[in-house]
Amino acid sequence: MHKTSEWLQSFSSEKNLKNPSRSLLKDGFKPCRKISITGGKGGVGKTSIALKTAMELAKAGHRTLLIDCDSNLSNTAIKLGLPLDNKFEKLLSGEATFEEVVIQLGNFHLLPACNGSTEIFESKMKFDEIIIDVISSHEHEYDYILLDCPAGVTREALTLNAFCDNRWVIVTPDKSSITDSYSLIKLLATRFGVKENHLLINMYQNEKQYQNVTNTLTETIQNFLGTTTHVLGGIKKVEVSAEAFDTFFLSETKNELQKNFIKLLYGFTEKDGGPTALLSNGVTQMAHEHDVH
């Protein structure tokens, strides 16, 4: 971990790790904000939230790239109903270019990884360094680059989280998710010097549960780590089967869940200095009609 931290720091000396997107201004490029969608525990809805965020940003006019960073268990294409392939292998070997591998759906671009690739399984390549190289080569083409990071505290996941401008830590009300999220934030702070994160509570049942999770995590993080936690808000649990949830959540239908999520997203771009194109397409009105998290 120590060597990884040193490598990341040396890389960031050229890219300005604290705010790498701003360093591009001197080269005449449009700033690109890099956000990792992450979590200490799997199964918290991270990939669905990453997809929804990328799709909404793209719909609002932002050129958005989502990178699936789970190198050999890629789920983003599956959730979109796209055919699976292992073209990413060819990108890694130099047999294909980024443009040949990335899936382009209007302003929304997706770079899926692989599923069950023997080559990747047997490879000793450093996947995090490859992803950062891809970002560095193409960030001038995008307004936002989102990383759907693997859950947990592996070296690769921590490095990718630390590289980004912002980290959205997705947590659910169960104790293991809360504990694992704290562990993730702790390691980011102590080993990579990350002092700021965003928190999104997913699948909470009621207001009391939402406040309990929020207060428990933010107070513990502040007291023991001294880092800043920005609460993005929450996504309330809906009575939809697990099989049907992604269709419901990722659709463009203006249901209550859709409106509430756009409000959450609008709050992030407004408060954190991101582009304000979300003001278009009636999003402002939609956001303020519903007094929810």
pLDDT digits (tens, 9 = 90+) for 66-119: 999 988 788 898 889 888 788 888 888 889 999 999 999 999 999 998 888 787
Report how far residue 183's alpha carbon sits from residue 118's, in angstroms, rounded to the nearest whole number. Answer: 31
Q: 135 by DSSP, 3-state: which?
A: helix
* All residues at 6 or more sequence positions from 232 whose CB lies less than 8 Å from its CB, including other chains: 168, 198, 199, 200, 264, 267, 268
Q: Pick the more confident residue, 271 or 56.
A: 56
* pLDDT attached to residue 22: 35
* pLDDT attached to residue 293: 56
**pTM given for the model:** 0.84
Task: Let me know if residue 199 belongs to a domain.
Answer: yes
Q: pLDDT confidence of 30, banded at 50, 70, 90?
A: low
Task: Let me know if residue 35 belongs to a domain.
Answer: yes
Task: Let me know if residue 279 belongs to a domain.
Answer: no
What's the rounded mean pLDDT across residues 165-185? 97
Q: For a pLDDT cut of 70, what percent of the chain falls above it?
A: 82
Q: For a pLDDT cut of 90, what percent of the chain falls above it?
A: 56
Query: What value, to the nearest 5°, has the Cα angle with vertex 234 and ends 162 and 220?
Result: 55
pLDDT at 2 over 50: no
Q: 252 by DSSP, 3-state: which?
A: coil
**Could you report the per-residue pLDDT of 218-246, keeping only the tens digit for each?**
999 999 999 999 999 999 998 888 778 88
Instruction: Domain of residue 140: give its range.
Output: 2-242
CATH, residue 94: 3.40.50.300
* pLDDT attached to residue 286: 30
Task: Let me know if residue 221 belongs to a domain.
Answer: yes
How many structural domains compose the chain?
1
Task: Let me know if residue 211 belongs to a domain.
Answer: yes
Task: Let me know if residue 107 belongs to a domain.
Answer: yes
Distances from the Cα of 80 to the Cα of 110, 151, 204, 236, 249, angstroms: 10, 20, 25, 22, 11
Task: Let me know if residue 127 belongs to a domain.
Answer: yes
Written as one letter, the residue type at 84 is L
Whether the CB-CB separation of 158 and 191 falls below 8 Å is answered with yes
Task: Let me know if residue 247 belongs to a domain.
Answer: no
